[in-house]
Amino acid sequence: MPMIRIVTDSTADLPAEIREQLGIEMVPLEVLFGEESYLDSVTITPDDFYQKLEASSKPPTTSQPASVTFASTYERILAEQPDTQILSIHLAAALSGTYQSAVIGSSMVEGEGAANITVFDSKSASSGCGILVLKAAEMARIGCTMDEIVEEITRMRKATHLYFLVDTLEYLQKGGRIGKASALIGSILNIKPILTLDEDGVVTSVDKVRGQKKAMNRIVELFGNDFGTQEPVAVTVAYAQHTGVADELCALLKATFNVDHITYYELGPVIGTHAGPGTVGLFMHRV
C-alpha cells in the first residue's frame, strides 16, 4: 500500500512539534509589515507577531504561497518515494487563494505523480483546518486509504461547529470582512457579534449581544442547540495572545456539556492579522 503524506499550510496553526511527530508538511503564508516580509510561524512566532502588531502604525497584510512553492513541495515528497499519495488540506477557498494556489501547484507537477495529489478545501480556518489535518495524519499512520481519509474528514468538516468572538471589530473591518459602520457601531455600543464560518467558509454573524458575558452565555446556548448536552464532545480552542476569555468559556462548556477533552492552540500570525488579538474561536464536534 502506498504511503500517504499530509500537506497543509501555516493557517492550520499546528505547532511544529505536532507536525514533526505526525510527518505533516507545512507550506507557510507570508505576513508583511510594510517592506518587511515574514513566513508565518517560520520566521515570525505568534508572540513576535502580536508585539509587532501592537507597535505598528499600519496594519500588516498577508500573502498566499505561490503555486510553484506547492509544486516544489509536492515534487520533493514524490522524489523521496515516487508512489506516495499526497493529501493537501488548506484554508477555506472563500477566505484565501491558498487552496487554488495548491490546486494549480498540483497541476504543475510533471509525470505520473500529479495523479497522486488530492487537494482538499477545509472550508474553515485555524483549528477548523488543523483538526482535519490531524485526523488525516492519524488515519494515514494506521494505514487507511485515501478514500477512507477523505470520506472521514469530509464528515468531520460538516460535523464540526465553530463560534468565535473578536476583541474588536477593527481587524475584520480592515480586512474587508465587515463594513466600517458595523465596526463603529459595535465599538460604541459594546455590541459583541458572535461569528462563525458558513458552509463555504465565509465569515458570518450568528447573533449580536451587548457585553462579553452575554456573548459567552449565548455561545453556550448555541452549542446546546447544535449538540444537546448529553453526548460526549471534543472542544478545540483557538486563541489570540491571551487565554482569559477562552478559559472562562471553557469553564462554562465543562459545566454544561459532556466534554471529553479540550485542546488549546494559538492563532498564528496570518489568522491573527485578520481577527486581531483577543480573538477566541471554539470548535466542537462529537467524539
- The pLDDT tens digits of the residues spanning 1-30 come to 789 999 999 999 999 999 999 999 999 999
Query: In the prediction, which pLDDT does 178 show?
Result: 52
Judged against a pLDDT cut of 70, whether residue 188 lies above it is answered with no
Least confident of 27-41, 94-108, 202-216, 250-264: 202-216
Query: Nearest 5 degrees, angle CA 181-CA 243-CA 267?
Result: 65
Q: What kind and span of H or E run contains 41?
A: none
Q: Which residues contact 91 (CB under 8 A, 6 or more apart)?
A: 9, 11, 12, 98, 99, 122, 124, 125, 129
Q: What is the mean pLDDT of residues 74-95?
A: 96
Query: In the prediction, which pLDDT does 183 show?
Result: 44
Kindly report, residue by residue over 221-238, the tens digit of the pLDDT: 999 999 999 999 999 999
The half-sphere exposure of 200 on its side-chain side, counting CA atoms within 13 A, is: 6
Domains and CATH numbers, the chain: 4-29+64-158 (3.40.50.10170), 161-286 (3.30.1180.10)
Give the confidence band of 90 by pLDDT, cuts at 50, 70, 90.
Answer: very high
- pTM of structure: 0.94
Q: Which residues contact 198 (CB under 8 A, 6 or more apart)?
A: 204
Task: Read off the C-alpha cell for 134.
Answer: 490531524
Q: Which residues contact 126 (CB under 8 A, 6 or more apart)?
A: 11, 12, 13, 238, 265, 267, 268, 271, 281
Query: In the prediction, which pLDDT does 181 show?
Result: 40
Kindly report, residue by residue over 114-149, the tens digit of the pLDDT: 999 999 999 999 999 999 999 999 999 999 999 999
State phi, psi for 202 to the nearest 5 degrees.
-90, 135
Spatial distance between the Cα atoms of 138 and 132, rounded to a whole number of angstroms: 10
